[in-house]
Amino acid sequence: MQQNLKDVVNRIIAIVPVYTAEGDSTLLILNDGQKILQTRTIDSCLKQIWRIYSFDWRSYRQEYRTLLNQRNLLPWPADFYRMFAPLKLRQPMISGDAAYGYVAIEAIAEVGQAEPKQPAPVYIRLHCGYRLAVYLEPREVHRHLQAAAYAAQQFWGQRLERNPFMLAMRPGSGISLRS
């Protein structure tokens, strides 16, 4: 099902690179378990999502590379309630194909070890019931999730120090900005 990204961007909990008959595509998993296939690469989808959020990836990457002490595979914040962690969600068929996707850490219900005969050593079950295979060792998955949690704490902590009113703007808090 092809849908406009603007209509669903606030409900995305996983961004997964997949192979389809059309080629390299991206599967978006929404918080209600709905799956949306985008017939473009994950890089293209990410750039469009960042554009929708007015998120400056270059500035963020420059600052958080130092903070997290890692050069690539940085977690990124979508909004106040979702921090996306990079996880290896497929084995690339061709050199240069994306292997890493992003999962909102708040949407993870369980991280477990897969059955011995499974190609991926780890799985992640999302709150919506969807299960993703992760092609990383358990300690690496844990490290990526920890880095994302730390990045969320740092990213939003800095902003809340400047504007504590943001805490009161949580959906369902009863505060309405409409007149």
Q: What is the pLDDT of residues 81-94, one digit of tens each?
A: 789 999 999 998 88
Q: What pTM value is reported for the model?
A: 0.84
Grade residue 161 by pLDDT with cuts at 50, 70 and 90: low
Q: What angle do CA 42, 44, 47 make, to 5 degrees?
A: 105
What pLDDT was estimated at residue 70?
86
Q: Given the structure tokens 């919506």, which residue do they identify?
A: 128
* Residues contacting 69, CB < 8 A, separation 6+: none
Tokens of 156: 């939003």
Give, rounded to a whole angstrom, the gap between the first and last alpha carbons of the chain.
37
What pLDDT was estimated at residue 114?
87
Rounded to the nearest angstrom, the gap between the alpha carbon of residue 165 and the centroid of all alpha carbons in its chain is 26
- What percent of the chain is predicted at pLDDT more than 90? 56
Tokens of 80: 């106040």
Residue 177, phi then psi, degrees to nearest 5: -95, 0
Between helix 138-162 and helix 57-68 the angle, nearest 10°, is 120
What pLDDT was estimated at residue 95?
87
Q: Given the structure tokens 């595979």, which residue do they identify?
A: 73
- DSSP letter at 34 equals -
Q: Given the structure tokens 């603007």, which residue do they identify?
A: 6
Q: What is the pLDDT of residues 28-81, one digit of tens each?
A: 999 999 999 999 999 999 999 999 988 888 888 888 888 888 888 999 988 877
